[in-house]
Amino acid sequence: MNKLTYIDDCQLDQFILRKVLSRYGSSYEVKCTDTCIGVLSMLSQRRLNEETMPDTILLDIYMPGLNVWDFLDRIKWLYPTFPKPLEVYILSACRQTADVERAKKYWFVKAFMLKPVTREMIEDLMRRKEARLHRFPVLEAAS
């Protein structure tokens, strides 16, 4: 089972993601948190292994405290120590071209997703992951 960690300080967005994933039979084991600090702490542990490490992180771009860019810089530094690949997807309520371009500079950031997260977006994310697509898309709900 794939492990997904969702980092967002909005409890409603966490609830929506859990509902979307559970309603449509996702193959993800989901953990939600409202801070980056705990995730960084877990990823920096020497005893980190494939069983305890997430496969995917969905990360809200506007977080209090440690901002998304500091978080990604620390992941970049830690990445060589990970026991398996980690994919990060950035979430935002609005598309800012500068943010999209900046996110592309991190090879482990696979896409920029616009909220709200929908079933179609999760299915697209899973298809891209399975097909190992490397193009950097901006995913958004269909109108």
Considering the entire predicted model, what is its pTM?
0.87
> DSSP characters for 85-103?
--EEEEEESS--HHHHHHH
Give yes or no for residue 41 having a pLDDT over 70.
Answer: yes
Q: What is the pLDDT of residue 74?
A: 96
User: What span, in angstroms and rounded, lies between the C-alpha atoms of 42 and 104?
Assistant: 24
Confidence of residue 36 (pLDDT cuts 50, 70, 90): very high
The count of domains in the chain is 1
Nearest to 19 by CA among 130, 114, 122: 122
Check: CB of residue 117 under 8 Å from CB of residue 17.
Answer: yes
Task: Enter the DSSP assignment of 79.
Answer: G
More confident residue, 124 or 12: 12
The boundaries of the domain holding residue 9 are 2-139
Q: Tens of pLDDT along 59-113?
A: 999 888 888 999 999 999 999 999 999 999 999 988 888 999 999 999 999 989 8
Residue-level pLDDT at 139: 66
> Which position has the higher pLDDT, 137 or 48?
48
For the stretch 5-30, pLDDT in tens is 999 998 988 888 888 877 766 677 88
Roughly what angle, to the nearest 10 degrees, separates helices 11-23 and 119-131? 70
Residue 2 near residue 84, CB atoms below 8 Å:
no
* CATH code (residue 51): 3.40.50.2300
Could you give phi then psi for residue 86, rounded to 5 degrees?
-125, 130
Compute the distance between CA of residue 91 and CA of residue 68 in angstroms, rounded to an integer: 10
